[in-house]
Structure 1
Amino acid sequence: MSRRDKPTPCPCGSGRALAECCGPYLEGARPAPTAEALMRSRYTAFALGAQAYLLATWHASTRPASLEPEQAPPPRWIGLTVHRHETPDPARALVEFTARCRIGGRAQVLHETSRFLREGERWFYVDGNLHE
């Protein structure tokens, strides 16, 4: 297999190809089956600049009308670690994660516990608490 034929790795860090991991969610082929899968796909959307997906997967009760324009220079997302995923009941979940990026060559870390709600067959991001 040549380098050109190598599948694109998924930015979420699953070790799988984008087309077999978060890609189908971002394309709308199917919804993310768990809150953790949705959180990973949202990280991937940030890494790929898929703002429409980010808005579509944000719960209507907390969704902004639009996303802020990209800062200059834009962040380069370089890693995701999921620390825990809890589903206290079928309609609610928490995902704690650390996302790493570089902005203008400087390393940044985002450590958050995000809340998710399930409506029908779809999970939605509600909000998150940042850890210091």
Structure 2
Amino acid sequence: MPVTACPCGRVDARGKARAFDACCGRYLDHDTPAPDAESLMRSRYCAFVLGRLDYLQSSWHASTRPADLALEPGVKWLGLAVKRHRVIDADHAEVEFVARSRVAGRGQRLHETSRFVREGGRWFYVDGDIR
């Protein structure tokens, strides 16, 4: 069975796409915490691609997590580009990214700078500023 490339687009040292199971899959499908804010952001992108509402909810900080979460129907995610990962201190970080998608045949770009916090050894998405 062929190895499926991770939707987040992360590559290995040789420039080859990382397999989902060895990349974000270990965070979505196991109880392995993401080691940093960028890895959490990438795994959350994968959760959007795969429709994993459970992971999106559990990785969202309780102070800003919506009570209900629904994905926009008909969205086809096309790719992710991480522009910047800024560590503020040991428990706070920001990740700037651009996620491309298509809805009803029309291309869209989500350019966001997201804020993350680490509590109890786990990183959580807090909120973000969309450009």
Instruction: Give the TM-score normalised by structure 1.
Output: 0.92
Which residue in the other structure is 1:42 paired with? 44
Q: How many correspondences in the alignment?
A: 125
> 1:30 deviation in Å?
0.4
After TM superposition, the runs of 4+ consecutive aligned structure 1 residues lying more than 4 A away are none
> 1:28 deviation in Å?
2.7
> 1:27 deviation in Å?
1.2
Which residue in the other structure is 1:102 paired with? 102
Task: Determine the C-alpha separation between the residues in 1 that align with 2:112 and 2:72.
Answer: 20
Task: Determine the C-alpha separation between the residues in 2 that align with 1:13 and 1:71.
Answer: 22
Q: Secondary structure at the match of 2:46?
A: helix
> 1:71 deviation in Å?
3.0
Q: Matched residues, percent identical? A: 58
Which residue in the other structure is 1:13 paired with? 9
Instruction: Give the TM-score normalised by structure 2.
Output: 0.92
Give the 5 Å matches for 1:70-81. Answer: 70-72=71-73, 74-81=74-81
RMSD: 0.9
Q: Secondary structure at the match of 2:26?
A: helix
> 1:79 deviation in Å?
0.4
Q: Which runs of 5+ in 2 are unaligned?
A: 11-16
Deviations 1:14-58 (A, max 9, x none): 120000000010013300000000000000000000000000000
